Amino acid sequence: MENEIDLTGVDPARWPEIRRRVAILDEYVKLWRPAEAVRKEYAKRMGVALSTFMAIARIWRENRSASALPGARASNSLPTARRIDPMSVEIMQQAIADIGPSSRRVDVLKEVERRCIAAGVTKPSNSTITNLLDKMRAAANATTEFAPEILIDECAVKLPAVHGGDIYMPHVLVAVALPQGTIVAADIGDGPDDPPSVARLAERLEAAFPGTGVGLPIRAPHLDSMERAVIGATDAANPTLRRVLGAQLDGLGLVYQESKARPTTALVRSRNSSTLSKDDVHRAIWSAIEAHNAARPALPGFASVGADSGFTPAGR
C-alpha cells in the first residue's frame, strides 16, 4: 500500500507520520458502517477528535490526497517582512527584481540601501534582505547572466537524517550547468563517514551528456587540488552555489554554512516531524532536483540527471 501513496506536496520530515495516518485511513475506509466504538478507536489511533477523524476520512475516501491531510505541511511562521515598514519591503523587493536575484549580495545590499535613503525610509536588516534574495534566487526559472560552465560544489539539505543515533543534515555534491541553472549530476552523502563522492559525480556528469560530452569548462572552488586535476576543474570562486541556487531546492532548505545554521534537533522539533530513513532522504533530494530541473530552460545535449539506482520520484 505504501508504494501507492503520492507524497507530493508533503513535508519530507512528515512522511513517516503521514504514511502512518494513511495506513489507518485505508483500514478504516474498507469498513462497512463501523459502530461508534470502532470509529472512536480509529480516531484515537490517529490522535484526533472523532469529528475531526470523520472529516478526514471523508476527504480521504473521495480523493486520497496525502498533502491534504492534517500535519502534512509545515506551518509557516510570521515572515519578518510583515514586521517592518511596508514601504521598505516594497523597495527591497523591487530592487532585487530590478538588478536580478543572481546579482552579488553586496550589490543588492547597496542598492536597497540607496533606494531606502532616497525614499526616506528605514532599510531592512541585511539578514532580511539576504533571506528574501535567497528565496527569489530559488524561485527564479530564467536563464542567468552567468558565463557557460559547470559549477561543482556542495551544500547541506535541511532534512533530519540519522547517523549513529545523532541527527544530521545530509550533504549533496552537485554539478550545475550555467547559465541555465540545471543540476546535471549529483551525489548524496550518507553521514560524516560517507561523504558525497567526487568519483560518482564525475561518472554521472559524463553520462548526463551522451554522445556530445559535457563540452563546458568545469569549476570546483571547494574540491582539493587532486580532485580538481582529475576532472579538469578550476578553483575560481564566483559565482557561488548559493548565488546560483538560493535558499531552497523545490522547497527543501539548503545550508551553505552549517556553523550558522540552527541545531539539527530543530528539524524534528515541530509536531508530526520525525527523522528519515536513508531511502527517504535520497528520495526527497532526488525528487527536489527533478522538480528544480523541470522549471529550468532547455539545456542542449542534456539527457537526465543521474540519480541513485532504484530511485522513485515524488516521494512515492
83 or 153: which carries more pLDDT confidence? 153
- Residue 275 carries which side chain, given as an amino acid letter? T
Output the CA angle 262-264-268, nearest 5 degrees.
110
If we measure between CA atoms, which residue out of 9, 24, 6, 26 comes closest to residue 72? Answer: 9
pTM: 0.80
Q: Residue 143: what pLDDT? A: 67
The tens digit of pLDDT for each residue in 17-67 reads 999 999 999 999 999 999 999 999 999 999 989 999 999 999 899 888 898
Neighbouring C-beta atoms of residue 182, cutoff 10 Å: 21
Instruction: Sort residue 232 into left (φ over 0), alpha (ψ -120 to 50) or beta.
Output: left
Compare 160 and 75 and report the one with higher pLDDT.
160
Question: What size, in residues, is the chain?
Answer: 316
CA–CA distances in Å: residue 54 to residues 42, 59, 62: 10, 9, 13
Q: Which three cell numbers stand for residue 118?
A: 532616497
- Residue 307's pLDDT band (cuts 50, 70, 90): low
